[in-house]
């Protein structure tokens, strides 16, 4: 693979904050919002079934906040990777949709958090609960696109010569 092709550039970090070659930071950081937002939905479900929902309602709120902070960090690093993708390529178009969905999901969880802060701790915000389900559905689609970027297009994945070293 030529050192100057768009595909080669997509595999190499633009700066050290994106992570070293073959070990990008963005996929690691996305586990924060994915995990905390999924856990917040579990807390909502437990709160709906609980005689004392307050600890779970507050816990869900805190988890959503942690997820928003994690999403901002993941987005910042993802943007560095995005900048390496050549315009007009299928990888760039996929990454644009991936990014737009993630920004939309983050906005939904921000609205969700604001609704929950204005609600009582003694019951689950049904609107917040529904927003979580919708946002997590969109996050699943975005995650599928992120997987396509890494596993299908090889964005920020070591090139085949490096990968072949593991099979010698």
CA 77 to the chain's CA centroid: 11
Which residue range forms the structural domain that includes residue 108? 6-14+24-167
Alpha-carbon span 145 to 100, nearest angstrom: 11
State pLDDT tens for residues 12-26. 666 666 666 666 888
Say if residues 158 and 11 touch (Cβ distance below 8 Å). yes
Kindly write down the DSSP assignment for every residue of 107-135, as one continuous string.
Answer: HHHHHHHHHHHTS-TTS--HHHHHHHHHH
Q: Indicate whether 117 belongs to any domain.
A: yes
Q: Indicate whether 85 belongs to any domain.
A: yes
Total domains present in the chain: 1
Q: Indicate whether 1 belongs to any domain.
A: no
Residue 46 in 3-state DSSP? helix
Which of these, 42, 40, 85, 43, lies nearest to 67 by C-alpha position? 40
State pLDDT tens for residues 40-87. 999 999 999 999 999 999 999 999 999 999 999 999 999 998 998 999
For 20, residues 6+ apart whose C-beta sits below 8 A from its C-beta are 13
CA 94 to the chain's CA centroid: 14
CB atoms within 10 A of CB 34: 20
Residue 11: both structure tokens together? 């595999």
Q: Indicate whether 19 belongs to any domain.
A: no
State pLDDT tens for residues 75-129. 999 999 899 899 999 999 999 999 999 999 999 999 999 999 999 999 999 999 9
Confidence of residue 145 (pLDDT cuts 50, 70, 90): very high
Q: Indicate whether 84 belongs to any domain.
A: yes
Q: Indicate whether 121 belongs to any domain.
A: yes
Choice between 130 and 16, residue whose per-residue pLDDT is larger: 130
Residue 8 in 3-state DSSP? helix
Please give the model's pTM, rounded to 2 decimal places.
0.87
Distances in Å between the Cα of 80 and the Cα atoms of 17, 55, 131 are 8, 38, 29
Q: Indicate whether 145 belongs to any domain.
A: yes
């Amino acid at each position: 693979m030529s050192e100057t092709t768009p595909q080669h550039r997509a595999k190499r970090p633009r700066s050290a904050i994106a992570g070293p070659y073959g070990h990008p930071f963005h996929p690691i950081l996305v586990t924060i919002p994915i995990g905390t937002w999924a856990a917040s939905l579990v807390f909502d479900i437990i709160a709906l079934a609980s005689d004392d929902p307050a600890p779970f309602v507050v816990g869900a709120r805190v988890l959503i906040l942690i997820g928003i902070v994690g999403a901002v960090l993941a987005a910042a690093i993802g943007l560095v990777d995005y900048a390496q993708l050549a315009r007009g390529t299928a990888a760039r178009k996929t990454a644009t949709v991936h990014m737009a969905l993630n920004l939309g999901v983050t906005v939904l969880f921000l609205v969700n958090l604001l609704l929950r802060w204005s609600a009582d701790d003694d019951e689950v915000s049904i609107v917040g609960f529904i927003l979580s389900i919708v946002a997590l559905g969109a996050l699943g689609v975005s995650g599928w696109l992120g997987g396509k970027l890494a596993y299908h297009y090889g964005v920020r994945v070591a090139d085949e010569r490096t990968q072949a070293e593991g099979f010698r």
